[in-house]
Amino acid sequence: NAGVMQNPRHLVRRRGQEARLRCSPMKGHSHVYWYRQLPEEGLKFMVYLQKENIIDESGMPKERFSAEFPKEGPSILRIQQVVRGDSAAYFCASSPSKGQGVNEQYFGPGTRLTVT
Amino acid sequence: AQTVTQSQPEMSVQEAETVTLSCTYDTSENNYYLFWYKQPPSRQMILVIRQEAYKQQNATENRFSVNFQKAAKSFSLKISDSQLGDTAMYFCAFMDPDAGGTSYGKLTFGQGTILTVHP
């Protein structure tokens, strides 16, 4: 069973460009979480999605950031008009549904975004 | 909102010795989960150990064990027989699985402790 997959692993964008980060959850997992890790800091929750639904986006910046988890395909975190402050590692985690017990999250390897 | 505090930015230990990493948290909830994650230089987040708040018995996973003090809201990680491969950033994390539906499963992380194991 493949783990959580994220791509690309490294992404370089110039200021003003768009960044698209992809996350494929573990097989059978229907819950996806995105976290951001700024340099020298812990991970901060951004958004929680289930298939075709955003459940909690309380950690997402109000502008330029959006996320989706379509019925088919990976979850996408999209950052429009990137700025230097968006440079960070973005982690995706997935978990099975609540009915299957403790909501243990499995993390992907992260995408390191660098804005130049 | 829950908060998680790791008061030790850096720790070091000699190989084969024991080290304890501290974590405190703040919550008004009674039912929750606590985790320790390890982040080696590869940056992959690896689950080390977890504790359910309703369980009085401290969790143990091989060389890793926790000291869970619910009343004091303390959740420390003890690493016995430290190995060079234990060198990593360690994060304490809190989860409230019943938080009003929308926060279900959201992890709140501490700032992290960098652990260096010396040969």
A47, A67 contact by CB (below 8 A): yes
* Closest CA–CA distance from residue B113 to any residue of chain A (Å): 10
Mean local confidence (pLDDT), B82-93: 97
Indicate if the pLDDT at residue B87 is higher than 70.
yes
Rounded to whole angstroms, what are the CA distances from B76 to A70, B38, B83, B89? 39, 14, 19, 15
Helix and strand counts by DSSP (H, E) for chain A: 0, 11
Instruction: Spell out which residues of chain A touch residue B33, defining contact as CB-CB under 8 Å.
Output: 102-103
Mean local confidence (pLDDT), A98-107: 69
* Closest CA–CA distance from residue B79 to any residue of chain A (Å): 21
Q: Give strand pairing partners of B3.
A: B26
Measured between CA atoms, the residue of chain B closest to residue A112 is B43
Tell me the per-residue pLDDT of A59-92, one tens digit each, with 9 for 90 and over.
Answer: 999 999 999 999 999 999 999 999 999 999 999 9
